[in-house]
Amino acid sequence: MTEILKIAGVAVISVLLVIIVREYKKEMAFQITIAAICILMLLIISTLTDVLDSIKNILGQYGFDSGLFGTILKIIGVAYMAQLAAQICIDAGESALAVKVELAGRILLIATALPLCISILEAVSELLKEAAA
């Protein structure tokens, strides 16, 4: 509960600062926004690390391949980072750049997911071979 209070506090204070500063120095307001994003990311990293450790422990307990889990985490990370970067571009008034960031994110998602898709196809192929025999 205290984490969300910290996050909300940073967000509200940042928005108020941006509103005040934007009237005098627009470029400085954007820098405050970027700084707030960095602070918010730092606030959630410890929670994210705890969640990931718990999931890894659960997967290990049931004998799941942690390599596949790592690939899924990379896919999720690419999606979130692309979305964050695109939103920053939009906030800066660069919607054309945001579209390119989103496209790059989609291409990276496909490239990151390809090994996982191949593993799934191999597993299905093995199952079909066993079922045919």
What per-residue confidence (pLDDT) applies to 49?
87
- End-to-end Cα, the chain, rounded Å: 56
Query: Over the Cα atoms of the chain, what is R_g?
Result: 21
What the block records as the tokens of 96 is 């054309």
Identify residue 3 by its one-letter amino acid code: E
Domain boundaries of the chain, sorted by first residue: 1-53, 65-133
Q: Global pTM?
A: 0.73
What per-residue confidence (pLDDT) applies to 72?
85
What per-residue confidence (pLDDT) applies to 84?
92
Between the CA of residue 77 and those of 8, 63, 82, 83, 101, what are the distances in Å?
A: 23, 24, 8, 10, 14
From first to last of its 133 residues, the chain has per-residue pLDDT tens of 788 999 999 999 999 999 999 998 888 988 999 999 999 999 998 888 888 888 888 888 887 777 778 888 889 999 999 999 999 999 888 999 999 999 999 999 999 999 888 988 998 999 998 888 7
Residue 101: count of CB within 10 angstroms of its CB? 20
